Amino acid sequence: MSLQIKSFEEYQEIYKKSVEDPEGFWAGVADHFFWKKKWQNVLSWDFEKADIKWFEGGKLNITENCLDRHIYSLGDKPAIIWEPNDPEEAHRVLTYKQLLNKVEQFANVLKNNDIKKGDRVCIYLPMVPELAIAMLACARIGAIHTVVFGGFSARSIADRINDTDSKLVITADGGFRGTKTIELKNIVDDALEQTSSVEKVIVLTRTRTPVSMIKGRDVWWEDEVRKVETMGSPACPAEEMDAEDMLFVLYTSGSTGKPKGVVHTTGGYMVYTGYTFSNVFQYQPDEIYFCTADIGWITGHSYIVYGPLSQGATSLMFEGIPTYPDAGRFWDVVEKHKVNILYTAPTAIRSLMAFGDEYLEDKDLSSINKLGSVGEPINEEAWNWFNEKIGKSEAPIVDTWWQTENGGILISPLAGITPTKPSYAMLPLPGVQPALMDENGNELEGNDVSGNLCIKFPWPGMLRTTYGDHQRCIDTYFSAYPGKYFSEDGCLRDKEGHYRITGRVDDVLNVSGHRIGTAELEDAINMHADVVESAIVGYPHKIKGQGIYAYIIADNVERNEDELKQNILATVTRLIGPIAKPDIVQFVEDLPKTRSGKIMRRILRKIAENELDNLGDITTLLNPDVVENVIEGAKKYREKV
């Protein structure tokens, strides 16, 4: 079979086969990859024990699939195009041949620093090509990488190092992010005061920030590479890995505030990310693909590095932010590199919308033929703006639903192949079997239903465990609905069988007996012309059970706050009904978010409930300083009420 679906009819036919014979379907997909030794068993699974194994007995190395197998046909093709934070700095291009050379080179550096198969390596780098090189070098020799977003706190790094017992840290003297210089090495030094397992720190030169280098522990990336070069830059054969050997650990926020180390393994993850990348984005050989995520998030792992490279794609990495040096930067990058596929987050889209269309003037976006959204459900207004202003109503939008735990996209349109609808993730990918469950654990059959979104059959990219605590994996994902994976998201399936994610289940409010989805309510608020972004949480209400607390970023607040509030409430009443009107509206300058752009409603809920001594870990936020500002504002708004 062909790896890429070419028509809606073919999608329907393949989806039917993938449900009737999942093992045969995934074996056919896996045949498109290079295996050192074929698997003996496609799948064994027991959801109640969270015991899932794909392609058992299969031997491979993911880097051979991302690099070596492309060398003869695509060796001179750009693998990574790197666009720096400062538009005045030259961009870099690494061909597949050059990237393989650098990966082998750095894999030998790791070996020279006593890293071997099974060792854990913590990577804390800015968005530079060396981040991808470091990940691939770890995978080349069978070391397990855990990437930490370059900007998280020393506490966050220490927690991850201690949890994984990491032996080596790879960092840089600093990183650039907009107008800021982040002192990465100094943050690592602070983190290492709280750890005992790290033996070596490899430091890349990026910002030329003065740093302290500890003798016997700290070495410069460039010096270590030169040592390998003096040996004649020998090749580094790829370590033979079992399909179920651990590839990486990536931490994601838990409902308790303590991050979970999500574990992904080699074979199934490779097959799933490659298959989904090829099909969702309908990638064609000469296209330039630009995912704006940070590699510190799962989207960067799956859809900047492993997925695109496994398919011989050209992947654009961006070091900066969408608003530096101005709000036209994304469009400058698109024009400069003639980007064909743009995959970004709703929070970025809404932010750029708020700056106005003037930053789009005189920008040539004609190269764009496909658009994608990731991170949270995209509201209809943002979807329409993205469609009309960026895609010129001609580029299909893939509104992708998936999670860190999933490894890759589960529900999404296939660009130009399957239907699209604003704010809908639409249809499951082949091999993905969704189930909507009611509160009593019964599956809701048919269409025009709404419930808790579960998946009732394994897919190759799913997590295998939570690092060092398998029981937590069982309790979090497999205990609520026995025999199924629980996503913790709510979802509706409309009359046509299309899926729309309605937000986290614990973000569904029960107001006077009425269930109101936070995504639906935020959608309505965001329709107001002056609203940039909003977040809804519930809080205890003496009469209603739950009251509705709205945190809103808006323009023109200072002009007349009370009038703006009344206008927003009128908008909600008009679009949903008076029952959905927020009880408290707090205008804020910013919202606490993860690096992926997800709003941390857990923290906002605690503030709304006035449980300020139980906020959990806020060090992993993109903008932890925002929390104190929101708390101060909440005191003022609570006094008003």
The answer to whether residue 299 scores a pLDDT higher than 50 is yes
| Edge-to-edge strands, sheet with 314-318 | 92-95, 78-83, 314-318, 288-291, 341-344, 370-373, 397-399
pLDDT over threshold 60, residue 256: no
* 257 has pLDDT over 60: no
- Give 227's pLDDT tier (boundaries 50, 70, 90): very high
Position 232 scores a pLDDT of 81
What does residue 115 show for φ and ψ, rounded to 5 degrees? -95, 135
> For position 231, what pLDDT does the model report?
84
Identify the CATH homologous superfamily for domain 512-640: ANL, C-terminal domain (3.30.300.30)
User: SS3 sequence, 70-101?
Assistant: HHHHHCCCEEEEEECCCCCCCCEEEEHHHHHH
Is residue 258 pLDDT above 70, yes or no?
no
**Per-residue confidence band for 335, with pLDDT thresholds at 50, 70 and 90:** very high
Q: Tell me how far apart the terminal alpha carbons of the chain are, to the nearest angstrom.
A: 63
Give the pLDDT mean for 273-284.
98
The amino acid at 520: E
Least confident of 35-49, 84-98, 242-256, 394-408: 242-256
Q: Determine how many CB atoms are found less than 10 A away from the CB of residue 542.
A: 6
With cut-offs at 50, 70 and 90, classify the pLDDT of residue 543. Answer: low
Q: 112: number of CA atoms within 13 Å, CB side?
A: 22
630 touches 615 (CB < 8 A): no
Q: Which residue in the block uniquely carries the two structure tokens 């740093």?
A: 211
pLDDT range class, residue 510, cuts 50, 70, 90? low
Model confidence at 610, pLDDT cuts 50, 70, 90, reads confident
Flag whether pLDDT at 111 surpasses 50: yes
**pLDDT number for residue 76:** 98
Per-residue pLDDT, 376: 80
Torsion angle in degrees (nearest 10) through CA of 622, 628, 634, 635: 170
By the 8 A CB rule, do 131 and 146 touch?
A: no
Cα gap 436→443, rounded to integer Å: 6
pLDDT at residue 575 greater than cutoff 90: no
Tell me the pLDDT band of 236, cut-offs 50, 70 and 90: very high
The answer to whether 75 and 96 have CB atoms below 8 angstroms apart is yes
CA dist 406 and 400 (Å) reads 12
pLDDT at position 493 is: 97
Greatest alpha-carbon span in the chain: 76
How many helices, marked H, and strands, marked E, lie in the chain? 20, 30
pLDDT of residue 641 exceeding 70, the answer is: no
Q: Which residues contact 628 (CB under 8 A, 6 or more apart)?
A: none
SS3 of 623-641: the string is: CCHHHHHHHHHHHHHHHHC
CATH homologous superfamily of 8-434 equals ANL, N-terminal domain (3.40.50.12780)
Question: Which stretch of DSSP H or E encloses residue 189?
Answer: helix 184-192
Half-sphere exposure (CA, 13 Å, Cβ side) for 584?
Answer: 28
CA pair distance 510, 544, nearest whole angstrom: 8
At 514-538, the pLDDT tens digits run 657 787 788 889 889 889 999 999 8
The yes-or-no verdict on residue 67 having pLDDT over 70 is yes
Residue-level pLDDT at 255: 45
Report whether pLDDT(28) > 80: yes
| pLDDT tens readout for residues 462-504 | 999 999 999 999 998 999 999 999 998 899 999 999 999 987 7
Q: What is the pLDDT of residue 132?
A: 98
Do domains 8-434 and 512-640 share one topology? The answer is no
For the chain, give every domain's residue range. Answer: 8-434, 512-640
Residue pair 312/306 in contact (Cβ under 8 Å)? The answer is: no
pLDDT in tens, 170-188: 999 999 999 999 999 999 9
| pLDDT at residue number 341 | 98
The span from the CA of 563 to the CA of 29, in Å, is 57
Mean pLDDT of the chain, nearest integer: 92
pTM of the model: 0.85
Classify residue 205 as exposed, middle or buried by CB count within 10 Å of its CB (0-12, 13-18, 19+). middle
The lowest-confidence range among 26-30, 331-335, 400-404, 513-517 is: 513-517
